[in-house]
Chain A
Amino acid sequence: EAGVAQSPRYKIIEKRQSVAFWCNPISGHATLYWYQQILGQGPKLLIQFQNNGVVDDSQLPKDRFSAERLKGVDSTLKIQPAKLEDSAVYLCASSPLEGQGLSGTQYFGPGTRLLVL
C-alpha cells in the first residue's frame, strides 16, 4: 500500500513570497490533516478535512494560510505572503473515516521542510 505522498520535500523562499505544498493521502482515506512542526516542537494541527469539507481550521492563520481539498483526494496548502516564523516542516497525514475506532491513528507523509529567508 502506497503511503502519504508530499511534495516538494524542501523549499527555500524569501519572506513575502508565496509557496504551495501538495499532499496525496493513502487511497480511500477520508480524513486529511495538515500539521506545522517548528524545530524543537511537536506537530501542531493546522487544518483537518473530512472528504472535501473542513472539520477544524481553528489554528490556521487564515490571513496568510489557505488549504483546499478538491474532489476529496489531493490537498494543497498555501502560504501567501510568507513570514520568517513560517519556517517549519509541514506534515500531511491521513486516516480512515473518523468514528471507525481508529481516531488518533494517523499516517504521516515525509513532510516538506520550508525555510523562509
Chain B
Amino acid sequence: GNSVTQMEGPVTLSEEAFLTINCTYTATGYPSLFWYVQYPGEGLQLLLKATKADDKGSNKGFEATYRKETTSFHLEKGSVQVSDSAVYFCALYGNKLVFGAGTILRVKS
C-alpha cells in the first residue's frame, strides 16, 4: 500500500537557519503530494502541495519539489522564524490521504 516516511525529529534550529525536512514516499500510480502543518493548539492546515512530477509547491517561504525519480518531496525554507515552530506532516493522496509520522520543528531565538 501507499506509505510516507519522513525524518524523525525533533529538529532544533536557530532563527534564520536553513531548514530541510526529508520526505520519501511509496505509491502506486501518480499521487499528489502535500505538506500539512500543525501549530501548537491548532488543527492541521495545508502548507503546500504538488500534483505532478517536477511541480514545486510553495507558501510562506516554504518550498517542496515533487521528485518522481527519487520518490521524494523534501520541505525547505531558507530562513526559519520562531513562529515556524510546529509539527510538519508529509502526505500523499492516491484515493485517500496517507500521512507520515510528523516532524517536530523547534526554532530558538
Assuming the A-B contacts A42-B4, A111-B43, are A104 and B101 also in contact, with contact meaning beta carbons closer than 8 angstroms in the complex? no
B20 at the interface (CB under 8 A from A): no
In the bound complex, residues from chain A placing their C-beta under 8 Å from that of B100 are 42
The proximity string for B residues 33-51 relative to A, scoring 1 for CB distances below 8 Å and 0 otherwise, is 0101000011111100100
Partner of A48, one of B34, B49, B89, B96: B96
Asked if B101 contacts A40 (CB within 8 A), the reply is yes
Interface SS of chain B: helix, strand, loop or mixed? strand
Q: How large is the interface on B (under 10, 10 to 19, 20 to 34, 35 or more residues)?
A: 20 to 34
Distance between Cα atoms of A43 and B87 in the complex (Å) = 12
Q: Using CB atoms, name the residue of chain A closest to B96.
A: A45
Distance between Cα atoms of A44 and B27 in the complex (Å) = 16
Asked if B34 contacts A43 (CB within 8 A), the reply is no
Asked if B99 contacts A42 (CB within 8 A), the reply is yes
Assuming the A-B contacts A41-B101, A42-B100, A42-B101, are A104 and B43 also in contact, with contact meaning beta carbons closer than 8 angstroms in the complex? no
A106 at the interface (CB under 8 A from B): yes
Partner of A110, one of B32, B43, B46, B91: B43
Distance between Cα atoms of A45 and B100 in the complex (Å) = 13
The proximity string for A residues 2-14 relative to B, scoring 1 for CB distances below 8 Å and 0 otherwise, is 0110000000000
Looking at B32, B95, B96, B102, which has the most chain A CB atoms within 10 Å of its CB?
B96
Distance between Cα atoms of A55 and B15 in the complex (Å) = 44
The proximity string for B residues 68-109 relative to A, scoring 1 for CB distances below 8 Å and 0 otherwise, is 000000000000000000000101110111011110000000
Partner of B43, one of A40, A41, A109: A109
In the bound complex, residues from chain A placing their C-beta under 8 Å from that of B96 are 45, 48, 56
Asked if B49 contacts A43 (CB within 8 A), the reply is no
Asked if A42 contacts B43 (CB within 8 A), the reply is no
Distance between Cα atoms of A109 and B38 in the complex (Å) = 11
The 19 sampled A-B contact pairs (Cβ below 8 Å) are A3-B43, A42-B4, A42-B91, A43-B89, A45-B96, A48-B96, A91-B43, A91-B44, A103-B32, A103-B93, A104-B49, A104-B91, A104-B93, A106-B46, A106-B97, A107-B46, A108-B36, A108-B43, A111-B43
